[in-house]
A and B are shown apart, each in its own frame.
Chain A
Amino acid sequence: MGVNSNGAVANPILTLENIHVQFGGITALRDEHLSVAPGEIVGLLGQNGAGKSTFVNVAAGAVRPKRGTMFVEGRRVDILGKPREIERVGIKVIHQEPTLVECLSVADNICLGRPGEWRRPAARKQCARKALQLLGSAMNVDRLVSSLGFAERKVVDLARALSTDMKVLLLDEPTGALGQDETDHLLNLLRNLARQGKGIVYVSHDLRVVLAVCTRLVVLRGGRVVLNEPAEAFNLTKLSKALAPTPSKTKQPTTGAEAEIVLEIKRDNQLLQFPRGGIIGLFGLAAGAQFRLTERLFGLGGSIEATLDGKRYAPSGPRNAIKRGVYYVSADRERDGLLGRMSALENLVLPWIERHTWAGTYSRPRAAVVFDKARLHLNITGAFMDGPISALSGGNRQKIVLGRWIFGDRPRVLLLSHPTQGVDVGARRDIAKALRELANDGVTVLVSSSEADEIELICDTTYICFGDHWPRSEAAPDWAESLLQSLLVQMATNTETRV
């Protein structure tokens, strides 16, 4: 199949031309091209934010580009059209998150929007079983979707989409939750569809799967296509290099004898050690094992084998963890961290409200001391401490949540998930600085993240959280790039991740 310099193939079934997408001031795609020929499976690769999902969303009609044109089988499609119209011309998109109706059965979900089968229950079940068969699943089609786990939902979602007719299929990270057996079935199915002359675009981080199924690879970086070549020319190493081009060495785990070890976590065959005064990253995939580990350290969702200051540490819940001096700032601070109906001050001091008292009664002036400290260090602006928290801007609300766990009381160990997500550059620096001061004060800080930039900004050292043995990496120039590279290597050499 010939590929010219423009990335165009002969007789494409789908062509996207000069697609330019901007979100606010950020350019997500710069006048880029993507075309797919019948029978091709194009692997779309790149780091987080490289523009992969943007391409898929443009084709789905979910994102409106500033300019650009789209052709299906040589006919122009209105790129600003409604998603439904785009689906009608034969483009099918399977998003990362399954979109199913919770209160309906598996059979009903698969046959929704198919008037032929919808009328008779027996026909619905028959049709659903056939669709699931495509993925090698023998799931009971009478089960309610609300009773299914994520992996099963994914299978139902895929079965629904794959059993309908389409010309072009775009899949965004389809195998993330699937088991080996289902993945194999899916890949075979995709190869079959390609053989029938469909065009397929496959977005994934899983390099092995990409190499196993794709016929052509397109790599994006910063909204530009930097590579567009047939897949045969690549193996794992070459592909990882292409994705993160400036590799630097990952340091071997150092035995930290200098600092006192505050927290130790025992994994299957590895002892993770966290010294006093260190800022240690836990870097991995989005929704990866590092977040589960952090939650367990706070007594949420499962047990953990750990010691804190040499004593066994097995928190039964947040209350228990907080008593031992282990605090947690979750990634979803709006939902998990804010008391929406209370004042900014109350939000800041609530976990220790018993201490801000005078003769047993709540003392606002005492609590206000903490507020002033947080305001000073985190640069909280325009905050009226007795006003409702909802009156503050988003960035300031985030700072209140962070400030609670940093200044409300001195933590022994502070756990943070994506601490700088959703705040502007200035606030990022304020937060990094506050965490550094806290660490200098002897607190152990654990930062779990799937953003290499965030790890580079905040941490001294980090574990790469994928696979059986998590390697460690020390801060270095261009650290973010090398972290990504290391993660890709881990993914290429390991199968699964456990906490």
Chain B
Amino acid sequence: MTARAIGYFLARNGTFVGCILLTIFFYYWNSNFLSLLNLRNIGEALSALGVVSIPLALLMIGGAVDLSVGSVASLSGVVAATCMINAGSVALGIIAGLIVGLTSGLINGLLVSYYRFNSIVITLGALSVWGGLALNLTGGRTVIGLPESFTGLALIKPAGIPLDVFVLLATILYGVIALEILPYGRRLRAAGGSPRAAFLMGVPVERTQLLMFVQVGLAAAVAGIMLASKLAAATPITGQGMEINSLTVVLLGGVAFTGGVGRISRVSAGLLFVGILRNGLVFLNTSQFLQQILIGLTLIVAIVFDETISKLGQGRPLALKLENEHEP
């Protein structure tokens, strides 16, 4: 086991190792950290973020980014809640919320994939538009008085596991199947990493990317509806910060902004890392603000570490030195 081999291992699995180290640390501090109740808390707290992060990872592997997810979640929640109250039908409300997500995904996808506008610019604009729309629609007020059959959804716990966590697990499973098991995933990576070459190989690059945008839009709507159900209320700012948080998870998961690379297992580890850190810091009784600082720092350290390791593998100077150490 050379230093280089350890380096490679860490570069590929750093996020997992981080999760384990963090868990050991918090467990040492407080043995309740690994209690079933707390694990369920972690899962529940992560569910909405995870439901958005996995599709966002797929979109970024496909070569684009969506910054509007938070606003779409807010608007979907608000629209779903309003429809439910006015129409008296939970199903109709959920469908209305999903239509918001679908519309947002289609608009972003058409502008970015087919008309080739920069995805950061377009979705940053969409972030403002949808967020503003949610505030306008409600006059800035929280929508309350949701039907009990809807708020009860969050309380369903088959086998003691909340429904939210099932949705999260289903999303992760979907991500793994789409990216790593179906042949579709390879086409997506080709389209994201080398769009021109992929186009010349007959990959429908635009359609592939559009589909990813639609998925992210729908996922954001689902997250918004989940949050409304859990909080028994829909506020027009529910999703604020979700774009930054999900982007952090995806980047911690080793997905590059330039597209083409990334694994769902690592993104899931990134998600878990954020969840463990947040939850553990509550155990340590630290301030919420420290949490934010630490998550940001982790992201920076992770990226720097990643770059250093991959340079160590390609550019020779450091690697050569390691090799020479073993010579007599």
Contacts and interface: CB of A to CB of B under 8 A. Distances in A.
User: Do the two shown chains form a genuine complex with each other?
Assistant: yes
Interface of A: 298, 317-319, 321-323, 328, 330, 335-342, 346, 350-351, 353-354, 356-357, 360-362, 404
Given A339-B193, A341-B194, A341-B260, A351 B201 contact: yes
A22 B196 CA distance: 36
B293 interface: no
B278 interface: no
Given A360-B182, A362-B183, A351 B193 contact: no
27 contacts: A319-B204, A322-B201, A322-B202, A330-B200, A337-B197, A337-B200, A338-B197, A339-B190, A339-B193, A339-B198, A339-B260, A340-B260, A341-B189, A342-B189, A342-B190, A342-B193, A342-B260, A346-B186, A346-B190, A350-B190, A351-B201, A353-B183, A353-B187, A361-B182, A362-B182, A362-B186, A404-B201
B202 to A, nearest CB: 4
Contacts of A337: 197, 200
Nearest to B199: A318
Given A339-B194, A341-B193, A342-B189, A319 B202 contact: yes
B197 A339 contact: yes
B187 to A, nearest CB: 6
Interface string B169-182: 00000000000011
B258 to A, nearest CB: 9
B147 interface: no
A-B interface, 9 closest residue pairs, ranked by CB to CB distance from nearest:
A341-B260, A341-B193, A322-B202, A353-B183, A319-B202, A351-B201, A362-B183, A339-B194, A361-B181
A317 to B, nearest CB: 8
A351 B202 contact: yes
A194 to B, nearest CB: 45
Interface string B94-128: 00000000000000000000000000000000000
Given A335-B196, A350-B201, A357 B183 contact: yes
Nearest to A363: B183
B185 interface: yes
Interface of B: 181-183, 185-187, 189-190, 193-194, 196-204, 260-261
A317 B203 CA distance: 11
A314 B327 CA distance: 64
Given A335-B197, A356-B183, A357-B183, A350 B203 contact: yes
Nearest to B181: A361
A342 B194 CA distance: 10
A339 B200 CA distance: 11
Contacts of A321: 202
Residue among B182, B193, B198, B200 facing the most chain A CB atoms (10 A cut-off)? B200
A360 to B, nearest CB: 7
Contacts of A361: 181-183
B11 to A, nearest CB: 14
B183 A354 contact: yes
Contacts of A341: 189, 193-194, 260-261
Given A341-B194, A342-B193, A336 B186 contact: no
Contacts of A346: 186, 189-190
Contact of B185 (A298, A330, A362, A404): A362
A56 to B, nearest CB: 32
A354 B203 CA distance: 11
Nearest to B201: A351
Contacts of B189: 339, 341-342, 346
Contacts of A351: 201-203
A294 to B, nearest CB: 12
Contacts of A353: 183, 186-187
Contacts of A330: 200
Contact of B186 (A338, A350, A360, A404): A350
A417 to B, nearest CB: 12
Contacts of A360: 182
Contacts of A322: 201-202
A277 B188 CA distance: 35
Contacts of A328: 200
A361 B183 CA distance: 6
Most buried by B among A319, A338, A341: A341
A236 B238 CA distance: 80
Contacts of A356: 183
A351 B204 CA distance: 11
B72 to A, nearest CB: 29
A239 B67 CA distance: 65
A340 B185 CA distance: 16
Nearest to B192: A341
A318 B200 contact: yes
A319 B208 CA distance: 13
Contacts of B196: 335-336
Nearest to B207: A319
A356 B196 CA distance: 23
Nearest to B189: A342
A350 B204 contact: no
A336 B189 CA distance: 16
A336 B196 CA distance: 6
A385 B201 CA distance: 19
A356 B183 CA distance: 8
A111 B200 CA distance: 41
A374 to B, nearest CB: 15
A471 B181 CA distance: 52
B247 to A, nearest CB: 20
B106 to A, nearest CB: 22
A353 B204 CA distance: 13
Contacts of B182: 360-362
Contacts of A336: 196-197, 200
A41 B261 CA distance: 56
Contacts of B199: 317-318
Nearest to B198: A339
B186 A342 contact: yes
Contacts of B183: 353-354, 356-357, 361-362
Given A338-B194, A340-B193, 8 more contacts: A317-B199, A318-B201, A339-B197, A341-B189, A341-B194, A341-B260, A351-B203, A361-B181
Contact of B187 (A318, A338, A350): A350
Contacts of B181: 361-362
Of the listed residues A298, A339, A361, the one surrounded by the most CB atoms of chain B closer than 10 A to its CB is: A339
A368 B185 CA distance: 18
Nearest to B190: A339
B41 to A, nearest CB: 35
Nearest to A354: B183
A243 B181 CA distance: 60
B33 to A, nearest CB: 38
B193 A318 contact: no
B116 to A, nearest CB: 15
A441 to B, nearest CB: 22
A330 B196 CA distance: 12
Contacts of A404: 201
Contacts of A354: 183
A328 B200 CA distance: 8
Contacts of B194: 338-341
